[in-house]
Chains A and B, each alone.
Chain A
Amino acid sequence: MKFDLIINKKNYTVDVEDGTPLLWVLRDELELVGTKFGCGIGECGACTVHIDGKAERSCQQMVELVEGKEITTIEGLSENGDHPVQKAWETLDVPQCGYCQSGQMMTASAFLRKNPTPSPEEIRMAMHGNICRCASYNRIEKAVALAAEKLK
């Protein structure tokens, strides 16, 4: 079946079965592989994208339900990789293996848009849903705070 999607401000038409998770449409059909597969059940956050500005798990979003919505992936977070969140991640050299980080940044950027002046506790709560198996949590936490500074 054909579906019309708006991803990173571009229009795409994809031909996939209904019920296909957005995650696999992005990765296998559109070669937007920055969005990662970690668990497939909404538990790890590796697949986080923005849908109409909200952080969502793309492994839990069936393609037919996101038609016409504004989808943003890590590839579209900024033109040149210079979103304040990306800058902060770079400044603090956050990643270890790096695999979880696009999901972390998508969660962080959606969160900061909603709450640009978060308390340390709010940052920890907001990021709690994203697993980092390498446990780069200290730097993620600092980077979200730094990004908030940059956004001011």
Chain B
Amino acid sequence: MSNTFNRRNFLKLSLLASGGMLIGVGCSEEADMPTSTDDLDFHSFNAYIEMAKNGIVKIYSPNPEIGQGVKTSMPMIVAEELDVSWKKVHVVQAPLSNDFNRQVAGGSQSIRQNFPALRMAGATVKMMFLTAVAKKWDVGVDTLKVAQGIISSQDGKKINYEEVIEEAIKIPVPENAPLKNVEDFTLIGKAINNVDIKPIITGKPLFGVDYKEKGMKYAAVARPPFGASLQSVDDTEAKAVKGVEQVIQFNNKVAVVANSTWAAFKGKSKLKIEWGNLQDDENTTLFDQKMAQLLHNGKLEEKIKSGDISKAKAEADQIIEQTYEAPFLPHNTMEPMNFFADVTDKKIRLVGPTQVPRSSANVVAQLLERNVEDVTVEMTRMGGGFGRRLSTDYAEDAAMVSHLAKAPIKLMYTREDDMSIGQYRPKVKYKITATLKNGQLTGYQLKEAIVNNNGMNKGIAKFFPFGAVDHYLAESANVPADVTTLWWRAPITNFLGFATESFMDELALKLQKDPIELRMELLENAKGKKTPYSPERMQQTIQLVKEKSNWGNAPKGIYQGFACYYSHNSYVAEVCDLEMIDGKPIAKRFYASVDCGIVINTSGAKNQIEGAILDGMGHAMYGNLELKDGIAQSQNFDKYKLIRMMDTPVIETYFVNSNQAPTGLGEPGMPPAGAAYANAYVKATGKRMLKQPFFS
């Protein structure tokens, strides 16, 4: 794939950081003929679009697919502006290439940041076809109409795109092809099936773990507990396992290279390793104590301040304070970490699941002291990401082992590797203090204690209720740790959303206000203030869920909890319906309203919200990874509970009708979920959930 890719530089499209367009016209490299036959039919218009004589359109999807649906929705945007029938579109995952902007799956930004470039890619090629046909028929371009890849003239002539490929491809790339009016979208906003649905339901090779090459070896790697180091290894028994070919020590780790996954796993389990320098302070209980102390009287770094919180405290007639705690969490993607690497003197080929192909190439080049131009990266479909594959650790290990073993290898994690050598959601605590005067919220103080400097940035520190109160202060304190931590679906907000929204609920109770009314009032105060969120859009979103959930009028025996949150540029409000069944509170239903601007694919979008809510609720209920001496105390699903079918409520999702540019969707559904559940739970049982997981 990668060797045929340069010729698509014919037209380079990239997006400036400002969001503006830069269209550079690369010189045509059509002379550089494709090498494989299935490429022969296709004519390349730009990095995204190729077309064949039979009318099939190949659209390259630039960003990594982790289950968030971009492999379907990104090409939909291209196809919309190109104006071709979706039935004729064949989607291909693009490899890492300079032709694309930000090939990253993270922060729910794929659609938001690429929307203009994807549209322009389609519109530009449509314009080339129109121009070619206008010339051919000797009419003005603006007298022509196009729909579904068929161009028609005022006098009723019709011609298909594929009939004029040769002419169109020669048209100089237009600088400013007009974009459709949002109202004229025909594909965007429809429910379109996952483009990989067929291979998924028939079990075709798709994922990194499925990747295989002739001569490839399998590697499993033993890694030290956090902070520890390799003392000694006895590999006699490991080498005696049939199929094991090499045992290699590198960088405090031990790799077993074998001719099958099973032999590699078995070999690894037979290694007798002594780890030295175990860190007895890499301990959940110790981290807990440090955080509690910091929140009590430690020194915190100011993130955002407005007004004077001490004044508000001095003048308050009531002060409410609450602390919320969250554990480390492994990402636990269903497909464990794995990567293929073939390191030779000439080239480094990497294939596998990564949310960050660009940095994978960079770090591997650096690690092996090679030119980054020698590195190619192909992305496979991923069995989940949730942030885990924003780390390049396993790609580096794969490359290093291939380099040392002098063979193409596929590195495979066992589930135990995956859960114990994680990049965890950082453990965190929040202490929130509110000052009340005459029944009004006057001040709000948010204190955060978190490991590894993973705390909120200034942007997040300005989330609601910043702007809604006169006196506001957000501060953070760091607890250094050896344990490696990383972004985890809805970083920071996955728990800050819970803390904020649980606190709001408590506040409403204290003020004897309806929880929705309290939010509406506070949002009213925030109007006209400089906030990252729009109070108007949040109010609208809340209003929608209020109606859909029948808020305040639930039948007897149903306890409703409400939460809302703005994150990743999107607005989500959720109501959880809880029922007491045999004395147990059971979440029966969630209503969710979402404002993410224009919805590209309603099927994929709903899937994301359904998943994010159940994921958020499930982790709030059960997710917990304890550390002792730097060793994960849960290493497989027998000791780590994930939400399963019998715990799941039905999710009803509603989107706010919007013509605004699309925003994030993979993450924003998650932050309110735990709080909506907890806020219903307190109604049903009187018990307020302050600590995750709720149940053990």
Contact = CB atoms under 8 A, between A and B. Distances in A.
Given A28-B260, A98-B67, A131-B637, A41 B415 contact: yes
A96 B201 contact: no
Nearest to B201: A86
Nearest to A91: B193
Nearest to A17: B242
A32 B265 CA distance: 19
A42 to B, nearest CB: 9
B671 interface: no
Contacts of B243: 17
A95 B644 contact: no
A135 B643 contact: yes
A29 B261 CA distance: 10
Nearest to A102: B203
Interface in B625-652: 636-638, 642-646, 648, 650-651
Given A102-B203, A128-B644, A128-B645, A24 B261 contact: yes
Nearest to B199: A98
Nearest to B259: A28
Given A93-B193, A93-B607, A97-B67, A137 B648 contact: yes
A105 B197 CA distance: 13
Contact of A90 (B201, B207, B209, B615): B201
Contacts of B651: 138
A135 to B, nearest CB: 4
Contacts of A105: 201
Contact of B610 (A33, A86, A101, A139): A139
Contacts of A24: 260-262
B684 to A, nearest CB: 21
A136 B637 contact: no
Interface residues of A, number: 56
Interface in A6-55: 16-17, 20-21, 24, 27-29, 31-41, 43-44, 46
Interface string B252-269: 000000001111010000
A136 B646 contact: no
Nearest to B644: A128
Contacts of B279: none
Listed residue (A40, A125, A134) with the most chain B CB atoms within 10 angstroms of its CB:
A134
A104 B232 CA distance: 43
Contact of A139 (B383, B414, B415, B607): B607
Interface in B414-464: 414-415
A81 B197 CA distance: 10
Nearest to A99: B383
Interface in A75-129: 75, 81, 86, 89-90, 93, 95-102, 105, 124-125, 127-129
B664 interface: no
Contacts of A135: 610-615, 618, 643, 648
A90 B197 contact: yes
A97 B66 contact: yes
B607 A124 contact: no
B203 A73 contact: yes
B334 A34 contact: no
Contacts of A102: 200-201, 203
Contacts of B603: 93
Nearest to A32: B203
A148 interface: no
Contacts of A74: 201-203
Listed residue (B193, B197, B206, B618) with the most chain A CB atoms within 10 angstroms of its CB:
B197
B209 A37 contact: yes
A44 B260 contact: no
Contacts of B196: 95, 98
B335 interface: yes
Given A81-B202, A133-B332, A39 B209 contact: no
Contacts of B202: 34, 74-75, 81, 86
B201 A97 contact: no
B69 interface: yes
Contacts of A138: 610, 614, 648, 650-651
Nearest to B413: A37
Contact of A37 (B201, B336, B611, B612): B336
A141 interface: yes
A145 interface: no
A97 B383 contact: yes
Nearest to B193: A93
B70 to A, nearest CB: 12
A134 B384 contact: yes
A34 B68 CA distance: 21
B419 to A, nearest CB: 9
A81 B210 CA distance: 19
A89 B201 contact: yes
Contacts of B415: 38-41
Nearest to A86: B201
Contacts of B68: 96
Contacts of B650: 138
A102 B200 CA distance: 7
A101 B336 CA distance: 15
B608 interface: yes
A34 B203 contact: yes
B201 A134 contact: no
A71 interface: no
Nearest to A98: B200
Listed residue (B242, B243, B384) with the most chain A CB atoms within 10 angstroms of its CB:
B384
B26 interface: no
Contacts of A5: none
B615 A134 contact: yes
B207 A124 contact: no
A143 to B, nearest CB: 10
8 A-B pairs with least C-beta separation: A34-B203, A97-B67, A99-B383, A74-B203, A135-B614, A43-B637, A98-B200, A24-B262
Given A17-B242, A131-B334, 9 more contacts: A16-B262, A29-B260, A34-B203, A90-B201, A93-B197, A97-B67, A97-B385, A102-B200, A140-B645
12 contacts: A16-B260, A36-B383, A40-B265, A41-B638, A75-B203, A93-B604, A95-B201, A97-B384, A98-B196, A129-B644, A131-B334, A138-B610
Interface of B: 66-69, 191, 193-194, 196-198, 200-207, 209-210, 212, 218, 242-243, 260-263, 265, 332-336, 381-386, 414-415, 603-604, 607-608, 610-615, 618, 636-638, 642-646, 648, 650-651
